[in-house]
Amino acid sequence: MNTCLMDDHPALHGSLALVQTPAFLMVQTNQMVTLSCKTQTSPSNTRIYWLRLRQALSANSHYEFLAYWESKKTVYGKEVDSEKLTVHGNPPQNVLTLQNVKPADSGVYFCMIIGIPNLIFGTGTQLSVVDVLPTSPQPTKKTSPKKKVCHRVPTRVTQKRLSCAPLILGLLAAGVLILLVSLGVAIHLRCFTSDQRICFLVSRYKNTLVSDERDPEK
């Protein structure tokens, strides 16, 4: 396949007639890669070509022809390592396999069929070959603070206070009773003393009157 064919035919990219999987693939160096292309409407004798695009798709994009499967063998493009790349399978399924991939193998891989009047391209597979796979940061989990539930357990001091409460109340009642009795006695004594004083004054007054009656000359 030459570039003249590419120039003479208008291209139809991303057609649903050719579905490629996976859409994106990142692998480490020296790994094996398998790309799949599935046709939807093409007959079984349709050739499926594999191309590589090393840069973003644009008007000046340059495709590298890699290989296609014909009957029982793989037909390779120029400077393609047959030990590294293999193609096999007839429509509707065609598979491209890469061995011991390197960062230089990175790019967008397309499968293509020659239609009338268009060249029909698949959806494409973006291949990235890296020495070390990036590590995705672990999502941080937000933990909501747990509410502390306080269970009040009566302590020994509280129990002791509760057990002493009747004794304290009894002592207070006894004290109040003693105060009331003392107050009653004090009032009684005060009243008794007052009565005695009054009686003394009355008696003295009577004695004075009697003495005056007996001694009128005075």
pLDDT tens digits, residue range 171-195? 888 888 888 878 877 776 775 566 6
SS3 state of residue 125: strand
Residue 197 has pLDDT above 60, yes or no: yes
Q: 82 to each of 76, 77, 111, how far by Cα in Å?
A: 7, 10, 18
> pLDDT band at 102, cuts 50/70/90?
very high
pLDDT of residue 2: 46
What are the sequence ranges of the domains in the chain? 3-130, 158-218
pTM of the model: 0.57
Residue whose tokens read 């009686």: 199
More confident residue, 119 or 8: 119
Q: What is the pLDDT of residues 61-101, one digit of tens each?
A: 788 999 999 878 899 999 999 999 999 988 889 999 999 99
CB 132 within 8 A of CB 28: yes
CB crowding 122-155: b at 16 or more within 10 Å, else e: bbbbebebeeeeeeeeeeeeeeeeeeeeeeeeee
Q: 73 to each of 30, 46, 88, 204, how far by Cα in Å?
A: 25, 15, 8, 160
Rounded to an integer, what distance in angstroms lies between the CA atom of residue 59 and that of residue 192? 133
Rounded to an integer, what distance in angstroms lies between the CA atom of residue 98 and that of residue 105? 9
Fold of 3-130: Immunoglobulin-like (2.60.40)
Residue whose tokens read 């004054």: 201
